[in-house]
């Protein structure tokens, strides 16, 4: 058998790297969960694999979309580029869709004036932050302007009502009292959606390896 030349080996390595990068950009990517905002669904130290074509497919290494894909469903967990700092990726759950009216009353979420069933939510605090006395139109304007992005506590437990804009979704963390999400920084434009986490392939916590979480399907 003829041995490969150094040039052939280098070309093979280059093509392997290119294929891996294309797959990472367009098909599947690994992410580490850094915070507890999605507890108990996702824990800090969970390593997840996410598919990247669910909400559209981009030409690798560009922002040009080959097709837009579908909107996420209410309740889906998504990975996205944080709109305020595009060097960061966040993971949250989609709570409301374009045109939905969302309101939070003493921590209970209402979509189109109906309470939302949320078996996945965790509440760490037993107390509520009081709402502010402001009309709906003014609240919507403040929210869209990013006025709550510095983390005003009064929107944590009592929020809105607001209408989710066109081409945007409203996302929140499952660890509801300790999540920085659409309540504070506003709607998530669907152009920032990156993918959908599918499976936990590794998990490491304060006490070491969490075997019971490995290969857990994310739903």
What SS3 state is found at 155? helix
Q: Which residues are catalytic?
A: 37, 92
Q: Does 161 sit behind a cis peptide bond, omega within 30 degrees of 0 on the bond before it?
A: yes
For the chain, give the number of residues: 219
| 151/168 Cα distance (integer angstroms) | 21
Residue with tokens 């078996």: 119
The token pair that represents 6 in the structure block:
């150094």
The token pair that represents 147 in the structure block:
């006025």
Q: Which of 173, 20, 15, 151 is nearest to 92 (CA)?
A: 173
| 118/108 Cα distance (integer angstroms) | 9
| 32/45 Cα distance (integer angstroms) | 6
Q: What's CA 10's distance to the chain center, in Å? A: 38
| 176/20 Cα distance (integer angstroms) | 36
| 131/152 Cα distance (integer angstroms) | 11
């Amino acid at each position: 058998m003829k041995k490969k030349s150094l040039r052939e080996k280098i070309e093979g390595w280059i093509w392997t790297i290119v294929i891996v990068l294309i797959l990472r950009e367009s098909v599947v990517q690994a992410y580490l969960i850094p915070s507890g905002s999605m507890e108990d669904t996702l824990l800090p130290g969970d390593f997840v694999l996410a598919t990247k074509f669910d909400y559209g497919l981009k030409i690798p290494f560009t922002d040009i979309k080959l097709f837009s894909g579908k909107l996420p469903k209410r309740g889906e967990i998504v990975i996205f580029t944080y709109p305020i700092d595009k060097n960061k990726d966040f993971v949250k759950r989609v709570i409301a869709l374009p045109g939905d009216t969302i309101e939070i009353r003493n921590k209970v979420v209402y979509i189109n004036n109906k309470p939302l069933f949320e078996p996945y939510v965790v509440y760490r605090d037993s107390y509520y932050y009081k709402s502010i006395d402001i009309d709906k139109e003014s609240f919507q304007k403040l929210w869209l302007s990013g006025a709550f992005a510095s983390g005003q506590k009064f929107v944590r437990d009592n929020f809105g009502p607001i209408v989710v804009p066109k081409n945007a979704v409203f996302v929140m963390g499952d660890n509801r009292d300790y999540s920085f999400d659409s309540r504070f920084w506003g709607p998530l434009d669907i152009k920032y959606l990156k993918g959908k986490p599918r499976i936990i392939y590794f998990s490491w916590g304060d006490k070491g390896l969490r075997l019971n979480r490995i290969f857990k399907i994310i739903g």
